[in-house]
Structure 1
Amino acid sequence: MKFRKHIDELCADTLKMNALAQIANAKKGYAGILISSAKIIHTLFSYHLKFDPQNPKWVARDRFILSSYQATPLVYAMLRIINLLSKEDLESFAKPEAKTPFFCNFNTTGIEASTTLPGQGIAISVGLAIAESILSSKFPEAEHYTYVLCNDGDLQEGVAQEALSFAATNKLNKLIVLHDSNGVQADSYTKSVLQENTKAKYRAMGFNFIACSNNVKKINKAIKKAKHSKKPTIISVHTTLGEGTKKANSNLIFQGYLSADELIDFKDNIYFKKADNFSVDEDVKKFYSQKICETNAAKFAKWSPTNKLLNFLNSDLKINLNDLKFLQNQSTAQNASLVINSLAEQNLNLIVGSADSNAETLIKNEISSYAPNNREGRNILFGRRENAMAAIANGIALHSNFRPIISSSLSSFDLMKSPIKAAGMMKLKILYLFNDEINEEIKNASVFTTFDQLNNLRMTSNLQLFKPYDENELKGAFEYYFNDSSQPIAIITNVKEMPHLAETDKAKFKEGAYYILKSKSNPWTLIGSGQELHNLYNIAKKNKISLISSANIQNLEKLNYLSSKAISFESSMSIGWSKLAKFNFGIEDFDNSHSENQMSQTFELNEKTITKKIEKILKAKKS
């Protein structure tokens, strides 16, 4: 591999200046890392990344994830030079509706994942590496590497540490972490907040660890070594934040942009000399055209996918569960497990996983487990890594045509909230199965409360929530996810066995909220879902009033019931129900200092207690 120092330096400096020009134009950004990470980006794209700009969705392309979101303009600068963005796009950086938002958005061609919170990009890259290892074990022509660029702060995040531990345990050797190790953070030097021996730490974890200077030849050599490793690799590139500026190696250059005078001074120390900071030298265009565009176009032209791979990538999984027989007296959690195992056995694009919670959720995945010696396994044992599990699922969903299904207890949602928000933002087709263990938490005076979680899930953008009562509604929830959904879905299951209701309806459930019972003479309506529906059913029958299943709350307001004569009940906080029903019963507080008996009385969810509350309202309105 031939290097020419002048052209490598000029290319890296062009990336720096094009990136610095973007944030100067927008008057916001992170100047320091645009300078320190430029050679890493240049080396990766020029000498290693298998990426054909003419075929940006090529399944065998290498994946590059930007975890250090501060470096976003650098990636835009590279995409512009390889003709996926224009000069006008760079000039529109951070403007509304631009192709170049302040943080990466995966709707921009060439961007693999939208920017999320610090550290999550590392977990997403682990998910991509898992997906690659499963796919290439079946179809070798889909083989590729996954790279992720991160900074010191990313590696301090818990989600990153969970994900890296998982990657090392599972020997994801095609995962290469590029660490811009500049030693400076927003508030301090890194050594003020981190005293670890990172080399010893990551080698003990199971990583191949390489340290190198910020030099194109050294970075290239390190990546070449990483690609031959039997372990995942962290390459720690020792850089200088804002090198070449007067504020270099200090947190004064961490955030902010360079003024016009500072940009002129900075150009005195680099190869880039153009007056227009958005310009690109013809030699740079030619270099990148040869190294990236022509080289990878030739690789794509030689690539020969099998029909089996193409069929996998183009398969559109549709299901019909009419013929699936459930056992009698089974909970929704047990039935959900039956659905998953029946589907996963037949469909190679289903990947299931749990965070060491099968005993809690009753979701027992019977397909073979993913492991270093079983890359075809599609049951992923995440251990107690809920945060990483959710972010890794995002990476799996982003890869190609995989559909991740992950399960956990509902109380764990808080640990998974940020990655689930990211999945909603990207509209990834992920299925979350949460077991609502509310009865057990009351019984055991547990701190693992779930009273507020349904509201938290409903408030998550682009996430659809289902809380099915029985097998009919559960089948509807699964069919909706596979056949109709264009976004992530959360299904709330329960371990309690509930009596079957003849009036529940799979087809109606998929359309939204629907009437279980419809009174022609009484204007009152009860609204509920999940395990509460059984008690409300008996009350509605007794009082000859209507009953609506809100297991799929969509279109509830279109049922034309009188909200002034509607009563909702949910074993959760009643926040948000007031616009749908005048009278709302929920659980507004939880104090685990109560004795078991006190809590049982406070949160008694039986038919007798609910009946008293509802009949009191009905009686008062008649008098």
Structure 2
Amino acid sequence: MSQFAPESSDAIAIGTIRALAADIVGKANSGHPGAPMGLAPAAHVLFTRFFTANPKNSKWFNRDRFVLSNGCALQYTLLHLLGYKLSLDDLKQFRQLDSLTPGHPEAGHTDGIELTTGPLGQGISNAVGLAIAQAHLGATYNKDGFDLINNYTYVFAGDGCLMEGVASEAASLAGHLQLGNLIVVYISIDGDTAVAFTENVELRFQAYGWHTLHVDNGDSDLAGIYNAIAEAQKVKDKPTLIRLRTTIGYGSKQQGTHGVHGSPLKADDIQQLKTKFGLPADQSFYVPQETYDAYHAVASKGAKAEAAWNALLASYGQKYPKEHAELTRRIAGKLPDGWEKALPVYKPSDPAQASRKLSEIVLSAIVPVFPELVGGSADLTGSNLTRTKTMIDFQPESTGLGSYKGTYIRFGVREHGMGAIANGLHAYGGIIPFVATFLNFVSYAAGAVRLSALSGHQVIWVATHDSIGLGEDGPTHQPVETAAHFRALPNLDFWRPADGNETSAAYYSALTRKHTPSILSLSRQNLPNLEGSTLENALKGGYVVHEVQGEDLTIVSSGSEVSIALEAAVQLQSEGIKTRIVSLPCWSVFDQQPQEYRLSVLRSGAPILAVEALSTLGWAKYSHEQYGLTTFGASGPYKKVYEKFGLTGPNIAELGKKVVTFYKQKGGEVVSPLVKAI
């Protein structure tokens, strides 16, 4: 790497970025001008001297990845200058309804945005997933003379990101995994964080196993910034943190104060700032041609890099046709041919098993034919049953514990970091990530799960010990409210399978719905295989397990309570009360079925009673009456706990009789809750 040679265009470009940030936020009358103004020098050096990408093809697979963890207007400015599909008019629509420049960057919404950031700590944690993905795919497919997958992941993160616990979790794991392809520029702002944040961040990251550097004058020391990034690239066995001290809102009258963080600059301040940087004070959104020329030259270099890479990939295909076919299939997001034939199917006579065990059986069957399935557990592998016999741990070779070719990640007790890393794994491409913990502790990762859904990241959560059925660990571990929370999230499939076929269906759905995350809520206790259960039925999200005509009652349930409902139906039938049973393993998938089908499953004519060993919140959408938990659980053998809360066949039968009696006395037509006015 040559030494930094400043050009006259550098100062103009940096001033332009600062002025554009002020104009963008000023026109919107909303946003954060301070950070992009302070970060402009580092961004300019990174993108003009180091970053390799092709703006004309933002999805080129071996591009460098950039994550602006503390999401702000800076990234939009850079994307525009480089020639991505983002015009000057788009910059003028910052934070306006339906624009390509929302308040914080959103993956899949704006060309060139890798990840949805804004909630602090998520971006830097996602970036660890990007770095893991590169390390894994590079180790798997690179050959002598064919260094196909070798990109860097660069991150800009601020004090706020590093205060968030999720960033600490991810950074700790990144250090252990020796991810030398990850370079974080940590912006230590000359503003007042002393009221709450006085730790030595460099020493903290050194303790994590990171390589650390610092540049004390991030406002103007371009050579120092350049040299730090160049040195970071040389370190192959550690991620690097570059502490960059900058002045927030540099150039403004309010520079260095909190006032420039979250409020637009005043008009006279913007004018004097432009004058200071040699730009026309009376022009808004002004970009000198020499700045466009400099950034378009970077883009041209990136296009040539992609062309060379495509030629290398073609040569790779000649010498390694099998690996080439698999890699290009994975890059294209196509699933292996015929993989679904490996899914287990069950008969009612097959032995009862916990759905966490049924999940393990599915994974054992599909992992050998599904190389893109990469994931692991938050230190609960033995309970989640997620590591199959053929899997190798993802570890640095130097540890002797595994290899970067490995597909099983030991996340440690880091649920939130695990979820955020999984988002990065999926965002990189070529990988379908799965992660595992107890359902109760998915709540620790709720921020990352929400961003999975918002961003369309296909992350699969294997969430075991899913109800009061886990028994002795008691209410601290029994997730009575968690299903209601995650069922409420848009674009998230929450599956609670009742038996083996439903578990296979949950995996089929999770692996084929490419832009939707899934949570598979799995039992610790054994569940019998049901009469009437098939993979095809379960894939509709809800279906009739036990049908009768002229029913007096329908009981709808999910997971471990479906077999309890069936037990109740037998007793009710013996007393002359005709009872249908519906299994509803996934509300969101059921809701997407045609109305005619849904009304055939939860039909009018008789009351519908919902039963679940969780909070009943949300069940009113599908039922007239609900029975479940209104309090936390209890510690004890799971059957005793179920008895304590009345979740037994005999008690549900008694409740069913009361419901039937009530609606008969009430009189009139009983209409399905699915029949709505709008």
Question: What's the TM-score bracket when you normalise by the shorter of the two chains?
Answer: over 0.9
Structure 1 window deviating more from structure 2 (41-50 vs 550-559): it is: 550-559
Change (3 A) 1:595 1:364: closer
Partner residue, 1:265: 272
Relative distance call for 1:496 and 1:200 in structure 2 (3 A) is same
Query: CA 1:100 to 1:191, structure 2 compared with 1: closer, same or farther past 3 Å?
Result: same
Partner of 2:510: 481
| Contact 1:441/1:447 (8 A) holds in 2 | no
Tell me the matched-pair count: 616
Could you tell me how far apart the structure 1 residues matched to 2:370 and 2:206 are?
Answer: 37
1:313 maps to which of 331, 338, 351: 331
**1:237/1:34 Cα in 2 relative to 1: closer, same or farther (>3 Å)?**
same
For 2:594, the equivalent position in structure 1 comes to none
- Matched with 2:617 is 575
State which drifts further: 342-351 or 377-386. Answer: 342-351
1:567–1:583 CA contact under 8 A, matched in 2: yes
Show CA shifts across 1:471-492 (max 9, x none). 1111111112223453111111
Q: Distance in 2 between matches of 1:270 and 1:458?
A: 52
Question: Does the 8 A contact of 1:344 with 1:351 survive in 2?
Answer: no
Name the amino acid aligned to 2:396. Answer: P
CA RMSD between the two structures = 2.2
The counterpart of 1:302, out of the listed 285, 299, 308, is: 308
Residue range with higher mean Cα deviation, 140-149 or 267-276: 267-276
Q: SS at 1:391's partner residue?
A: helix
Kept in 1: contact 2:344–2:504 (CA 8 A): no
Would you say the 8 A contact 1:116–1:422 is kept in 2? Answer: no
Deviations 1:425-476 (A, max 9, x none): 0111111111134345543434123100110110112101111111111111
Q: How has the CA–CA distance of structure 1 residues 364 and 82 changed in structure 2, closer, same or farther, with 3 Å as cutoff?
A: closer
Matched letter for residue 585 of structure 2: A
Decide whether aligned partners of structure 1 residues 593 and 334 sit closer, same or farther in structure 2, where only a CA change above 3 A counts: closer
Deviation at 1:600, TM superposition (A): 6.1
- How far apart, in 2, do the equivalents of 1:111 and 1:597 lie? 50
Q: Distance in 2 between matches of 1:579 and 1:483?
A: 27
Query: Distance in 1 between the 2:249 and 2:606 partners?
Result: 62
Alpha-carbon distance in structure 2 between the residues aligned to 1:359 and 1:612: 39
- The answer for the alignment partner of 1:450 in structure 2 is 479
Structure 1, unaligned runs of 5 or more: none
Structure 1 residue corresponding to 2:353, chosen from 327, 330, 348 = 330
Partner of 1:363: 386
CA distance in structure 2 between the partners assigned to 1:322 and 1:170 by the alignment: 32
Instruction: Please state how far the C-alpha of 1:552 moved relative to its aligned partner.
Output: 2.4
| 1:515 maps to which of 544, 550, 566 | 544
The answer for the alignment partner of 1:97 in structure 2 is 98
Corresponding residue of 2:75: 75
CA distance in 2, matches of 1:549, 1:99: 42
Q: Decide whether aligned partners of structure 1 residues 484 and 386 sit closer, same or farther in structure 2, where only a CA change above 3 A counts.
A: closer
Q: Does 2:25 align with 1:7?
A: no
For 1:444 and 1:83, locate their aligned partners in 2 and report how far apart those are by CA, in whole Å.
56
Q: Does the residue aligned with 1:190 lie in a helix, a strand or coil?
A: coil
The one-character-per-residue Cα deviations of 1:264-317 (angstroms, maximum 9, x if unpaired) are 122232233363231211111122222x11222221222121331323323511
**AA partner of residue 328 (structure 2):** L
Aligned pair in 2 of structure 1 residues 91, 564: CA closer, same or farther (>3 Å)? farther
CA distance in 2, matches of 1:202, 1:560: 55
- Is contact 1:563-1:582 (8 Å) kept? no
Could you list the per-position Cα deviations for residues 527-575 of structure 1 after superposition, in whole angstroms to 9, with x for gaps in the alignment?
Answer: 0111101111122234231111111221445635128611110111111
User: 1:561 aligned to 2:564?
Assistant: no
Bigger Cα displacement from structure 2, 565-574 vs 199-208: 199-208
Q: 1:422 aligns with which of 451, 460, 469?
A: 451
Secondary structure class of the residue paired with 2:100? coil
Shift of 1:221: 0.5
Question: Out of 113, 116, 139, which is 1:114 matched to?
Answer: 116
Instruction: Give the conservation status (yes or no) of the 8 Å contact 1:152–1:183.
Output: no
Displacement after TM superposition at 1:18 (Å): 1.1
**For residue 195 of structure 1, what is the aligned residue in structure 2?**
198
TM-score (norm 2): 0.87
**Cα distance change of structure 1 residues 269 and 332 upon mapping to structure 2, 3 Å threshold:** same
Q: Give distance in 2, aligned partners of 1:26 and 1:11.
A: 22
Matched, 1:341 2:370: no
Comparing 483-492 and 233-242, the one that deviates more: 483-492
Q: CA deviation at 1:598?
A: 9.6
Match of 1:503 in 2: 532
| 2:374 is equivalent to residue 351 of structure 1 | yes
Normalising by structure 1, we get a TM-score of 0.94
The 1:516–1:86 alpha-carbon spacing in structure 2 relative to 1, beyond 3 Å, is same
Match of 1:209 in 2: 212
- Separation (CA, whole Å) in 2 of partners of 1:76 and 1:415: 31
**Aligned residue type for 1:65:** V
- 1:372 and 2:396 aligned: yes
The 3 A distance-change label for structure 1 pair 558 and 66 is farther
Q: Which moved more, 1:242-251 or 1:449-458?
A: 242-251
Offset of residue 615 of structure 1: 2.3
Residue 391 (structure 2) pairs with residue 388 (structure 1): no
Q: Aligned-pair distance for 1:358?
A: 2.2
2:253 is the counterpart of 1:246:
yes
Q: 1:467 to 1:595 in 2, by over 3 A?
A: closer
CA distance in 1, matches of 2:22, 2:63: 28
Q: CA deviation at 1:596?
A: 11
Moved more, 442-451 or 376-385: 442-451
- State whether structure 2 residue 578 is matched by structure 1 residue 549: no
Is the CA contact (8 Å cut-off) linking 1:421 and 1:460 kept in structure 2? yes
The amino acid of 1:238's aligned partner reads R
1:616–1:560: structure 2 CA closer, same or farther, 3 Å change rule? closer
Amino acid across the alignment from 1:172: L
Q: Give aligned-pair identity as a percent.
A: 25
Distance 1:181 1:610 in 2: 60
Q: Judge conservation of contact 2:272–2:281 (CA < 8 Å) in 1.
A: no
Q: Which residue is equivalent to 2:230?
A: 224
CA contact (8 A) 2:202 2:243 kept: no
- Closer/same/farther in 2, CA of residues 568 and 596 from structure 1, 3 Å limit: closer
Cα distance in 2, alignment partners of residues 238 and 453 from structure 1: 42
Given that residues 429 and 485 in structure 1 are in contact (C-alpha distance below 8 angstroms), is that contact kept between their aligned partners in structure 2?
A: yes
Query: After superposition, where does 1:14-33 map in structure 2 within 5 Å?
Result: 14-33=16-35
Return the alpha-carbon distance in structure 1 between the equivalents of residues 363 and 563 of structure 2.
25
For residues 593-614 of structure 1, the C-alpha deviation after alignment (integer angstroms, 9 at most, x for no partner) is: 9999996654242222222222
Contact 2:607–2:660 (CA<8 Å) still a contact in 1? Answer: no
In structure 2, the gaps of 5 or more residues are: 143-147, 318-323, 398-402, 592-597, 666-678
